[in-house]
Amino acid sequence: MKNKKIFVRTGLMSWVRGGFFSLAAVSLAGMAFAAEEKDMKNQHTVLITGANRGLGLEFAKKFQAAGYEVIGTARKPDEAAELKKIGAEVMELDVTSNEQIEALAKKLDGRKIDILINNAGIFPRTKDREDMMQTYSVNTLGPYFVSEALIPNLKKSDSPRIVNISSGLGQLTGGNGGAGGYSFSKAALNMVTRNLHSSHHRDGVIVISVNPGHNKTDMGGDGAPLEPANTAEKLLELVETLKPDQSGGFWMYDGEKLDW
């Protein structure tokens, strides 16, 4: 009888201990899940247009490595193998298409975007009127309409930023417009930056133009003096440290203030 009582008591204690540890395990698992969910909510998201190659791809790599959730757009997502390889979410977007811009906004409805980098651009080397109009549509109007479509997403962020990738070739001070339609489009893009700043800075949206310099990309050529990876790293530092009083300005990728 005495042995039976000991067995019952021992069994009861084992059950209590087992139940306690099971509850503790469940509790710890729940805490870990909650922490992971909180981290996901706190993770910053960057959307980069034209992210499948060149500077756009380098921007995507640097932001991904820095812990950002990266959404990269491409006209042909099936050909964005490198972008997919780094773990970015790839979405289709031709910045000249109102339908595709609307479709992108619909897919992203309700999602927070902290940083929008309007990087998609073209550089035709002709003086053909149609080529120039296409350049203006991509380099100037594209950033404007994409930005306006994603303003609701940006407003969900505590520190929303729009970065328009411009060029020194669009700089009026000391410029000569030698690159034709490309220069014209980038000068006009800088006015888009001023417009977006004027329209949205009261809502806390910081908007800047950035001169990324002359980089070794398909557009810049092998003889360019700058390495895209270094430019992307410096741009990340600039974007992360932006303050409201910098909005509406023109900046070098390394943080130097530029004249228009």
Same domain, 66 and 124: yes
Farthest CA pair distance, the chain = 105
| Residue 204 token pair | 């806390």
146 CB contacts (<8 Å, ≥6 apart)?
49, 93, 95, 101, 104, 116, 118
Same domain, 170 and 202: yes
Same domain, 59 and 107: yes
Same domain, 151 and 252: yes
Residue pLDDT tens, the chain, 260 long: 555 554 445 554 554 455 554 554 445 545 444 444 445 457 999 999 999 999 999 999 999 999 999 999 999 999 999 999 999 999 999 999 999 999 999 999 999 999 999 999 999 988 999 999 999 999 999 999 999 999 999 999 999 999 999 999 999 998 877 889 999 999 999 999 999 999 999 999 999 999 998 777 767 777 776 788 999 999 999 999 999 999 999 999 999 999 99
Same domain, 123 and 8: no
Same domain, 58 and 102: yes
Q: Total structural domains in the chain?
A: 2
Same domain, 105 and 209: yes
Q: Print the domain residue range for 6.
A: 1-40
Same domain, 57 and 150: yes
Same domain, 151 and 27: no
Same domain, 18 and 143: no
- CA distances, 148 to each of 60, 79, 177, 210, 228 (Å): 22, 27, 28, 19, 28
Give the whole-angstrom CA distance, residue 201 versus residue 19: 56
Return the CATH number at 106: 3.40.50.720
Count of CA atoms in the C-beta half-sphere (13 A) of 123: 16
Q: Which of 40, 55, 71 is the C-terminal boundary of a domain?
A: 40
- CA distances, 255 to each of 66, 193, 238 (Å): 19, 17, 6
Same domain, 6 and 120: no
Same domain, 180 and 117: yes
